[in-house]
């Protein structure tokens, strides 16, 4: 009789040890999933708060009086973009990803292919409602009947601007 009680006690203790291990493993797993969901929601929240709209007209005439004309290879393309979200973004070329006709553009004031500046003031932060001016230096455009596509990405928000060059 005592041997049956001893074997039941051993099985009971072993069951408790296994159950404690399972509970510990599940608790750790749930904490990791919860942490991942929190991190993901912060990223999504930032992306949702960032929104922008290209306000340039694809038919408007720019500095030399012609529509996005690069016939003499010294014309710049100027695009105006409004921050329509609720998040401020530093006005810095590193914050902007530009792809023109499938070519990634590198930003920077000295040797970059594009520059970004505040369109109204000399602000260093692109606040909600403000407009930035993106100047693409001597771009390689599809002239004539060729369509040009510019993808602008800031903090996960992407806008497409399509235009034709003369």
Are 82 and 152 contacting, i.e. CB atoms less than 8 angstroms apart? no
| Radius of gyration of the CA atoms of the chain, in A | 29
CATH class of the domain defined by 52-164:
mainly beta
- Sequence ranges of the domains in the chain: 1-49, 52-164
Tens digits of per-residue pLDDT, 137-158? 878 777 666 788 899 999 888 9
Measured distance CA(77)–CA(139) in Å, rounded? 7
pTM above 0.75, yes or no: no
Give dist(CA 129, CA 83) in Å, integer.
5
Model pLDDT for residues 55-98, shown as the tens digit of each residue: 887 765 555 544 555 455 557 888 899 999 888 889 888 889 99
């Amino acid at each position: 009789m005592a041997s049956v009680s001893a074997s039941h006690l051993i099985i009971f203790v072993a069951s408790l040890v296994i159950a404690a291990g399972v509970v510990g493993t599940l608790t750790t797993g749930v904490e990791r999933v919860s942490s991942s969901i929190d991190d993901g929601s912060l990223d999504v929240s930032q992306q949702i708060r960032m929104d922008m709209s290209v306000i340039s007209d694809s038919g408007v005439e720019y500095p030399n009086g012609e529509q996005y004309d690069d016939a003499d290879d010294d014309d710049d393309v100027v695009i105006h973009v409004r921050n329509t979200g609720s998040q401020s973004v530093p006005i810095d070329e590193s914050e902007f990803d530009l792809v023109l006709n499938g070519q990634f553009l590198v930003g920077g004031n000295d040797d970059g292919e594009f520059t970004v500046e505040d369109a109204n003031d000399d602000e260093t932060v692109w606040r909600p409602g403000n407009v930035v001016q993106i100047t693409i230096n001597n771009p390689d455009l599809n002239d004539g009947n060729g369509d040009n596509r510019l993808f602008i990405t800031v903090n996960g928000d992407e806008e497409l601007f399509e235009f034709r060059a003369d």
